[in-house]
Amino acid sequence: MRGASLRAFRQVRRSQTTGRFPRREIKKLMAANRGEIAIRIFRAGTELGIRTVAIYSKEDMRSVHRYKADESYLVGEFNTPVGAYLDYKEIVRVAKENDVDAIHPGYGFLSENVHFARLCEAEGIAFVGPRSDVLNQFGDKTLARQLATKHSVPVVPGTESEVTTLEEVKEFLTSQNVEFPVIIKAAHGGGGRGMRVVRREEDLAEALERAQSEATSAFGNPAVFVEKFVDRPRHVEVQILSDGHETVHLYERDCSVQRRFQKVVEIAPSVGLPTPLKDDLLNDAVRLTSAAGYACAGTVEFLVDPLSWRHYFIEVNPRIQVEHTVTEVVTGRDIVQAQIQIAGGASLEECGIPNQDAIETRGYAIQARVTTEDPDDDFRPDAGRLQTWRPAEGNGIRLDGGNAFSGAVISPHYDSMLMKITASALTFEKACDRLTRALRETRIRGVKTNMPFVLNVLKHPTFRAGDATTAFIAENPELFQFPKSADRASKLLAYLGDLAVNGRKAVGATGASTPRYAAVMPPDASEEEVAEVAPGFKKAAAGLKQILEKEGPSGFAKAVRERKGLLLTDTTMRDAHQSLLATRVRTKDILAVAPYASAAIGSECYSFENWGGATFDVCMRFLHECPWDRLAQMRSAMPNVPFQMLLRGANGVGYTSYPDNAIFKFCDVAVKNGMDVFRIFDSLNYLENMYLGIDAVGAAGGVVEAAISYTGDVTLEEKDSTTKYSLDYYLELATKMKLRGIHVLAIKDMAGLLTPRASRKLVSALRSEFPDLPIHVHTHDTAGNGVASMLAAAEAGADAVDVAVDSMSGLTSQPSMGAVVAAVKGTSLDTGLDLSKITPLIDYWESARMSYAAFESGQKSGSSDVYNHEMPGGQYTNLLFQATSLGLSEKWPQVKKKYAEANQLLGDIVKVTPSSKTVGDLAQFMVTNDLSPEDLKAQAKTLSFPSSVVEFFQGALGIPKGGFPEPLRTDVLQSAGNPRTFSGRPGAELDPVDFDAVKTALLKRHPELRVVKDTDLMSAVMYPKVFDEFQDHVQKYGDVSILPTREFIEPLEAGETIDIVIERGKHLVVKLLGVGTLDPKTGSREVFFELNGSPRSVLVADKHSTEKTIVRPKADAHVPGSVGAPMPGIVIELRAKHGQQVDVGDTLLVLSAMKM
């Protein structure tokens, strides 16, 4: 409690001049302002039984303050947004026409305009503020300084009167021997507008110009004054209240936490100031205002040097302050009501304040201004639609809101403040905690706010110690380091809203509509009676993963070779869905079954193939998921089984050659994030490309599984010794790879060309040649021979074969897991797997597959003609899907025929991604242009071939067996302008990737990353454009991987409700209520939702609309020369002309933007 002990220093002063205002009854009160302060005035008036009147600009037609008043009137219909509230003549006219007795100016706008006050006085309207002569004295900062000096209130050295020219400023500095830094301040206004600190003489002219421009825009007067700048002071202000006869203070406030002279957080009373200093501040404030004959509320502002505890008068703000709320809370006094009563002639005693001793403080109050400013972007004001408005409540919290509510459109024309939150408690520390809680509880979505920044201020030890100065923010850059608001619900609603308006977004989802069904979930892994091997994972038996971790890749290979029975690799989580469902299976559906799969079959499997290859880019490109996050989550859910991926040799997980260091880095990052076995292949079996992958995986510590890509038919040499892909060809490849230091040898049969007889012959030869090297066989079941071929391979000595869960097997996928398990049951090849444990996997994937009906190719059966066209399984499905989607299903036989012809034209090559794409592109090119092989050869010099074909003939993929066919190669390259060709490994000629430069570029392009992780880096190196698009999608729609699969693909129906788990223990219950009609002006529709029981809506552009709309493009930071405005506002002057050459720092235009 403060008061009685300092009575001697706080005598009630009597005005020597004007006295109280004339006694009058105020029946109708106008607020000549907008937003929060207008509402505050209306509330005060209503409690006093006074009818209230609002004014509003045309831009404020829907503002809350308009309908908080009893009456409201449009002003400035043909004026600018700010100008509407500055036209005091019109405002007074409206007041007189509507019998207004008093006008309260609030803060900002006309609150310190002498002409406005004089006009009110002349028209017999009470101006709720000081008399015009007093307002003039304190509104003119130089006159106020003179008065302070006269009454022995210390001031900072400065100009004796206002100045308007650079010459006047220089004259003052020279004559008074004032050194830099100095501060320029608007002479007729405050609030940080028209204020500039100048630290060097060479910056003086520009600073003066900018300060005067702001002052003119904000206060209608360019006059300024200049004074010595006190570095790192405390900013303390005293609230006074006077009826013209008696003046009291309501103690002091600390407003030191400022950014560019804008107050951020205010405290009452101050913390840490010596008691004698406080007494001096309070006495000086009362003495100065009393001497001026001040009446009404005002604030006397001081700078305090924390080293000497000397104080200097700055100015008197002859109006209500934004931060008056903290004083009201700690004193229990309604300052705005007192203003109104005093304007009606009441004495302080009639306002409930008989003397100074009646004013006491209790506890502490802290106010935070919540603004629509983005602290990540230099506090640039944001504008837009408030999707969510849920301010905090509770004990010790006061809210003073403006024009904010769910659905409100925040205008770019006015102050960015949404509301003020004031927290109070008996101690300063508790008030900090309470305000922190309130800010964290508050939910504002649709616009960016400064709340994360304010939260950092509140937890900073300097602030909590009460030691913050005006340099606090500038000296603590860590205040700008805060977690970015995820705003997950709003982003997900935007995605669902887009689906509701525009239909499916998932690329390739052109098949049947996704049915509604209940997935058949597998048993909880904890029910499996197996040993626990990893913390956090229940009862998953140890497997080859644990051997790999303990004994390394060589020990892993040895264990595989010594293993009794046949090992299986389950491809369901990668190649199976790539072949059947266009690689579209989402992480969510994999993780749902992962723990059970790990426990049921993981310990007996060679590996789970679940990453790399096409899944890497499809994750980002089409599923909008991070492939590295998928890998990490799978690793957590399946700790006992080795993970296997596809590595395209020198192509990494891409479709082109990369610099060597990129491949080495990628493999290293993959191993560190949970990858174990790397199946390394090259689309042409070009060993130079494969060697790079082998070396990179070896250096990273992964299992090197080098793959021979199989094509042709090794049994043909029994009849034709000239066959291109003979047994000796494959044995030679295997020999060279083994010499390079591989751990496992793989046979990669992408098209399913291995017949049982070919399989037996090839594997037998390899086993004989390499008795200690594990052999792993991969095939596709396109012809229906898969199970038989894998059994033959196993009988011939293969250690492991690839299979898929039955409901994801067959057709162009891998052979059936259950079929292979059953076939070898009880034999020396017994897999050790229990069919009863596989059954839940079959049931789960059969039901889960229904979610992907839109991506099914429509293939009904196997096709033995694969032995003719040799099309890889995944490509077969994709080309069939494309043909069906385009309504060309009747041409499918022709496509397959042309594929075989294209293969021969290219020299009968190995067909694996990306070489298979080259063959496919050429085949489609021939179908589209109705070309026979003879036609193509004859016209090759004049045709415009697909880029993949040109790149193949350039040698960009490597050198095929037998070289390139001539003269076709020469003709194709000639038609393409004879581009550069490669005679060796293409990547060997590439410069190393500058990883630091890539990280720098990523942070510039995607500042939301804050820190570029190695996983992000490698995604960007492998797929620069795809990664950019993925990040942009995440920024716009959030993490869509958490959406249920059906709702990821299909629009919700009106009335449909879904449950979205955003994290453990946090759910979003979303219900689509409906879609609004088309707005012809914007071409958008409003989509209405219910989110956790509360109404929400989003605006979505209707891509099917034929309405012409006006689009105002925004600056794109990624486009050179695209310049964005520092804040929204109105262009009042152009400084640059079309075609003018401009340099960094040149002024392009002048904006008028409201900023308190």
pLDDT at 1 exceeding the cut of 50: no
| Residue 1139 banded pLDDT, cuts 50, 70, 90 | confident
Stretch among 5-9, 841-845, 851-855, 880-884 having the lowest mean pLDDT: 5-9
Q: At what angle do helices 1014-1022 and 614-621 cross, to 10 degrees?
A: 100
Tokens of 469: 């100065």
* 1068 three-class SS: strand
Note whether 24 and 345 are within 8 A (CB).
Answer: yes
- Look at strands 311-317 and 364-371 and give their pairing: unpaired
The candidate with the shortest Cα–Cα distance to 139, out of 247, 292, 259, is 292
Distance CA 66, CA 83 (A): 18
pLDDT at 927 exceeding the cut of 70: yes
pLDDT at 538 exceeding the cut of 60: no
Average pLDDT over residues 212-241: 88
Concatenated DSSP letters for 592-648?
A: TTHHHHHHHTGGG-SEEEEEETHHHHHHHHTS---HHHHHHHHHHH-TTS-EEEEE-
Note whether 188 and 214 are within 8 A (CB).
Answer: no
| Residue 559 banded pLDDT, cuts 50, 70, 90 | very high
| Residue 11 banded pLDDT, cuts 50, 70, 90 | very low
Degrees, nearest 5: CA angle 800-805-809: 95
The four Cα atoms 346, 347, 349, 355 give a dihedral, to 10 degrees, of 150
Average pLDDT over residues 44-63: 95
* 576 three-class SS: helix
pLDDT at 267 exceeding the cut of 50: yes
pLDDT of 1072: 96
pLDDT digits over 291-307, tens only?
999 999 999 999 999 98
Tokens of 724: 């291109």
| Residue 527 banded pLDDT, cuts 50, 70, 90 | very low
pLDDT at 529 exceeding the cut of 50: no
The candidate with the shortest Cα–Cα distance to 796, out of 833, 770, 818, is 770
Percent pLDDT > 90 in the chain is 70
| Residue 413 banded pLDDT, cuts 50, 70, 90 | confident
Chain centroid to Cα 390, Å, comes to 21
pLDDT digits over 175-223, tens only?
888 888 899 988 877 666 788 989 899 999 999 998 898 888 777 888 8
* Structure-model confidence comparison of residues 515 and 332, the more confident one: 332
Percent pLDDT > 70 in the chain is 94
Average pLDDT over residues 684-708: 96
- Look at strands 800-803 and 567-570 and give their pairing: parallel
pLDDT of 13: 33
Average pLDDT over residues 1070-1092: 93
Stretch among 454-463, 975-984, 1106-1115 having the lowest mean pLDDT: 1106-1115
Average pLDDT over residues 2-7: 36
Note whether 742 and 705 are within 8 A (CB).
Answer: yes
Element (H, E) at 1134: strand 1130-1134
Chain centroid to Cα 1144, Å, comes to 29
Neighbouring C-beta atoms of residue 392, cutoff 10 Å: 17
pLDDT at 703 exceeding the cut of 80: yes
pLDDT at 100 exceeding the cut of 60: yes
| Residue 858 banded pLDDT, cuts 50, 70, 90 | confident
pLDDT digits over 1010-1061, tens only?
899 999 999 999 999 999 999 999 999 999 999 999 999 999 999 999 999 9
* Structure-model confidence comparison of residues 9 and 724, the more confident one: 724
Q: Is the dihedral of CA 523, 524, 528, 530 positive or negative?
A: positive
Distance CA 867, CA 863 (A): 9
pLDDT of 402: 87
pLDDT at 3 exceeding the cut of 60: no
Q: Which residue has the tokens 């003719």?
A: 868
Note whether 957 and 914 are within 8 A (CB).
Answer: yes
Neighbouring C-beta atoms of residue 1, cutoff 10 Å: 8
* 139 three-class SS: helix
pLDDT at 535 exceeding the cut of 50: no
End-to-end CA distance of the chain: 33
Stretch among 14-23, 285-294, 1010-1019 having the lowest mean pLDDT: 14-23
Note whether 444 and 389 are within 8 A (CB).
Answer: yes
Degrees, nearest 5: CA angle 431-437-441: 145
- Look at strands 182-186 and 677-680 and give their pairing: unpaired
| Residue 532 banded pLDDT, cuts 50, 70, 90 | very low
pLDDT of 880: 77
**Ramachandran quadrant class, 466 (left: phi over 0; alpha: psi -120 to 50; beta: rest):** left
Mean pLDDT score across all residues of the chain: 90
Note whether 706 and 739 are within 8 A (CB).
Answer: no
Concatenated DSSP letters for 46-94?
A: HHTT-EEEEEE-GGGTT-HHHHHSSEEEE--TTS-TTGGGT-HHHHHHH
Cβ burial, residue 123 (10 Å; 0-12/13-18/19+): middle
Note whether 566 and 831 are within 8 A (CB).
Answer: yes
Q: Which residue has the tokens 């395209």?
A: 648
pLDDT at 1116 exceeding the cut of 50: yes
Distance CA 747, CA 754 (A): 10
Note whether 676 and 610 are within 8 A (CB).
Answer: no
Rg of the chain, C-alpha, whole Å: 38
The candidate with the shortest Cα–Cα distance to 781, out of 773, 772, 791, is 791
Q: What is the DSSP letter of 443?
A: E
Distance CA 955, CA 986 (A): 7
Q: What is the DSSP letter of 771?
A: T
Helix, strand, coil share of the chain (percent; to 5): 40, 20, 40
Distance CA 581, CA 808 (A): 10
Average pLDDT over residues 1055-1077: 93
Amino acid at 950: V
pLDDT of 462: 96
The candidate with the shortest Cα–Cα distance to 12, out of 300, 246, 239, is 246
- Does the pTM surpass 0.95? The reply is no
Note whether 697 and 666 are within 8 A (CB).
Answer: no
Note whether 14 and 246 are within 8 A (CB).
Answer: yes
Q: Is the dihedral of CA 52, 53, 57, 58 positive or negative?
A: positive
Element (H, E) at 896: helix 892-905
pLDDT at 1065 exceeding the cut of 80: yes
Q: Is the dihedral of CA 942, 947, 953, 954 positive or negative?
A: positive
| Phi then psi dihedrals of residue 1062, to 5 deg | -90, -25
pLDDT of 1036: 93
pLDDT of 375: 86
| Residue 8 banded pLDDT, cuts 50, 70, 90 | very low
Q: What is the DSSP letter of 929?
A: T
Which residues are annotated as catalytic? 319
pLDDT at 528 exceeding the cut of 50: no
**E strands within 662-784?**
677-680, 703-709, 744-748, 775-778
Average pLDDT over residues 133-151: 86
Distance CA 174, CA 87 (A): 39
Stretch among 268-282, 493-507, 523-537, 772-786 having the lowest mean pLDDT: 523-537
